[in-house]
Structure formats: structure tokens, C-alpha cells
């Protein structure tokens, strides 16, 4: 370790600074960088041992930063989420301790994740992965045994959540495929949803009418286990499900039962509860399932933008004494934080 004052830890990120090493070089101008891997099930003591020296953390979707973890990180001033969601961070404790939490703005990832969602949708309903497998196995003639696909044109496709990513998916499906898009989002008005190329419906109506359902909601206390046996049973037979938000939206056991029984036509997901998962995960052995390793933001434009956001947030706080670009816990009382001090004095140090 050099004599530089600041330490920035890059935690559980397999992408930050890899495709764009210039992001690392920019941070190294004013801080020491350390890469840290922490298992999902690690006790708080492991966090404290590996991160006690960190002034800033660039955080991936894992692990979970609980209150117990955060209480043992006395130097931490900025936790920057290398992504949009902050469900793995205790925002209230961060605010209480004066730790600002920043995140990537929705405009950075929306096109990339929306494209991924539509791609998964196509792959699932047209059995693209299955078709590729039989050709590679030299069994071309088996194509006649593959289930017939669903045409998007005229199909009713339901979106759960129609924020930045959901509305982009709606635009693609409506203008590009001429689908009939309906959306459930209690926080967006019918007029605004119409402007986003969809029709507002209640959740039960979405379940009953959709041939395909795509999830674009954050993981919160309201959406956790939003899809259990009751909701899956209320869907049309052979409905297809696409998930690019969080695996915890589903009760996994109920989902697997619905797939195995044939109630659900297919499940295509870029996210899994407890990720990263191994090759022996039960979901991978379930029929009509496609799982990708959280690739939604892995495009040239998105990954570069995410990295630039992390660099900008760190520079703003530690070099320029300014706010991060998007503060996830800004709405929480930060009276004793460095951010609050900046509001009062114009300085963060």
C-alpha cells in the first residue's frame, strides 16, 4: 500500500475497470484501489477485516451491506452502487452513519436492459436456445417437436413496472412489434402510462390477460415474493415470464412447480436469487428455463456509462467536494453526514 490518503475498494465486481481500464487510472490519480471479493454468506467480521480501510466502496449487486456490516466500517464515506438497484444496501443505516450512497442513473442502463428483456422474450417464446441445442446435437429433424412460438404482433404483453426500463420495453414492443402492451404500476398515472406506449391495468387484470409478462420493478418490501402460487395460478395457461429485475420477486419453489406442471410456458431470467449460482442450481434443471448471468447492463454504451458514473461520483466527493450525481439515500435525514455539512458550509472535508 502506498502513502496515498484515500482507499477505494472495488467489491465483487467482475466488470468495473476491466473493459475500460482508463476508469481505474482516473481513480488511481487520487486513491489506492483494492479489489475485494466477499461471499454472499460472509459474516460481518469478514467485511470489517477486508474493508475497514475503505473511504469509498464501488459496490456490485452482492454482497448485502447490513447495519451490522456498516457499523464496522468507520472510514466509509461514499458507497457507490455499480448499477441502478440499491436493495443490497441498508440506506437508513448509511444515512444515520453519514455514508452517502450513490447509484447509476436509469438513463445509463435503460436501453441495454430493455434490449436484453426483449431478447430474452424472443429466446423464450421462440425456443431459440432449444433450437440451437438440437442443431448442435445433429438432430435437426426434432424441430417439429418444438412448441410453436408466440407472435408479438397483436399479442397482449404485460409489464410489471413502467419506469425508465419498462417504458423503453413498451416502446420497442408497441412501435417495433405492434404488440398490445398493458402495464401495472401503482405509481404512474393512466395518462402517463399511455404516453409510454401502454395501457394501465390493475395487477389481477395483467395476470389474467397477458400471454407474456416482463418484470421491470425494483425489489422492495412490496415486490418481494410478488409472484407466488396464487399469482402464478391466476395467469393464462402457457404464459411466458421474463425477469430482468431481481430473482426475489418470485417464490422460487412455486415458480418451479408452475413450470414443471406446464402451467407456465417458459421463464427467461437474467437474475437469480442468491446469485452467482453454480451449475447444479435447481432452476437450471427445470424445463423451459433460460438463465443468463446478469448481463442486462453488459453492452458497450451501458458498461462505459456505469464506469464513468462511478469515477465521477468518487471524484465529486473526494476531489471536488461536491455531491455525487444521484444520491440514493438523499431523502433520508442526513443531518450528521458529510453531505449535510456540505449543504451548510459548501465543503465536504
Residue 107 C-alpha from the chain's centroid = 14
Indicate if 294 belongs to the active site: yes
Assign 3-state DSSP to the chain and report helix, strand, coil percentages, each to 5: 40, 15, 45
* 3-state SS class at 14: coil
Catalytic residue list contains 281: no
- The angle formed by the CA atoms of residues 67, 71 and 74, to the nearest 5 degrees, is 145
* Among 110, 196, 197, 294, the one annotated catalytic: 294
Q: Which of 196, 246, 316, 338 is catalytic?
A: 246
3-class SS of residue 148: coil
User: What's the angle, vertex CA 133, arms to CA 130 and CA 137, rounded to 5?
Assistant: 145
Among 28, 192, 205, 275, the active-site one is: 275
CB atoms within 10 A of CB 103: 26
Cβ contact 152:173 at 8 Å = yes
The whole-angstrom separation of Cα 225 and Cα 204 is 15
d(CA 271, CA 84): 14
Rg (CA), the chain: 22
- Euclidean distance between CA atoms 219 and 175, whole angstroms: 28
Q: Is 335 a catalytic residue?
A: no
- Residues annotated as catalytic are 246, 275, 294
Amino acid at each position: 500500500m502506498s502513502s496515498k490518503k484515500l482507499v477505494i475498494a472495488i467489491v465483487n465486481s467482475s466488470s468495473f475497470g476491466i473493459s475500460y481500464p482508463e476508469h481505474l487510472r482516473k481513480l488511481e490519480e487520487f486513491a489506492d484501489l483494492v479489489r475485494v471479493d466477499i461471499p454472499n454468506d460472509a459474516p460481518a467480521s469478514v467485511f470489517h477485516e477486508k474493508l475497514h480501510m475503505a473511504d469509498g466502496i464501488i459496490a456490485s449487486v452482492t454482497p448485502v451491506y447490513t447495519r451490522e456490516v456498516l457499523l464496522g466500517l468507520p472510514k466509509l464515506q461514499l458507497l457507490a452502487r455499480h448499477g441502478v438497484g440499491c436493495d443490497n444496501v441498508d440506506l437508513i443505516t448509511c444515512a444515520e452513519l453519514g455514508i452517502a450512497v450513490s447509484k447509476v442513473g436509469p438513463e445509463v442502463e435503460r436501453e441495454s436492459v430493455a434490449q436484453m428483456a426483449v431478447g430474452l422474450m424472443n429466446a423464450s417464446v421462440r425456443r431459440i436456445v432449444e433450437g440451437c441445442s438440437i442443431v448442435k446435437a445433429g438432430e435437426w429433424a426434432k424441430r417439429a417437436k418444438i412448441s410453436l412460438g408466440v407472435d408479438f404482433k397483436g399479442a397482449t404483453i404485460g409489464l410489471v413496472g413502467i419506469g425508465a426500463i419498462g417504458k423503453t420495453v413498451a416502446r420497442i414492443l408497441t412501435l417495433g412489434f405492434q404488440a398490445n402492451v398493458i402495464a401495472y404500476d401503482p405509481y404512474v398515472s393512466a395518462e402517463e402510462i399511455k404516453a409510454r406506449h401502454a395501457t394501465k391495468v390493475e395487477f389481477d387484470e395483467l395476470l389474467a390477460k397477458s400471454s407474456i409478462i416482463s418484470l421491470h420493478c425494483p425489489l422492495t418490501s412490496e415486490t418481494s415474493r410478488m409472484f407466488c402460487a396464487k399469482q402464478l395460478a391466476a395467469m393464462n395457461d402457457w404464459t411466458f415470464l421474463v425477469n430482468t429485475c431481481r430473482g426475489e420477486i418470485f417464490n422460487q419453489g412455486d415458480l418451479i412447480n408452475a413450470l414443471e406442471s406446464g402451467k407456465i410456458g417458459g421463464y427467461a431470467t437474467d437474475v437469480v436469487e442468491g446469485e452467482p449460482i453454480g451449475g447444479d442450481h435447481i432452476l437450471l434443471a427445470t424445463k423451459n428455463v433460460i438463465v443468463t448471468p446478469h448481463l442486462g447492463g453488459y453492452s458497450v454504451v451501458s458498461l462505459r456509462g456505469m464506469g464513468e458514473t462511478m469515477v465521477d461520483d468518487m471524484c465529486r466527493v473526494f476531489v471536488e467536494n461536491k455531491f455525487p450525481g444521484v444520491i440514493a439515500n438523499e431523502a433520508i435525514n442526513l443531518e450528521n453526514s458529510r453531505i449535510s455539512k456540505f449543504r451548510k458550509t459548501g465543503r465536504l472535508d
